[in-house]
Amino acid sequence: MSVLSACSSAPPLFSSDGRPTSMIQCPTNGGWSNCQQNARALCSGSYDVLDQSSDNGQNSLLIACRAK
Q: What per-residue confidence (pLDDT) applies to 68?
A: 76
pLDDT: is 2 or 16 the higher one?
A: 16
Question: Tell me: the pLDDT tens digits for 15-47?
Answer: 999 999 999 999 999 889 999 999 999 999 999
d(Cα 49, Cα 18) in Å, to the nearest integer? 15
pTM for the model: 0.76
User: Residue 9: which pLDDT band, with cuts at 50, 70 and 90?
Assistant: very low
Counting DSSP H helices and E strands in the chain, the numbers are 1, 3
d(Cα 35, Cα 24) in Å, to the nearest integer? 6
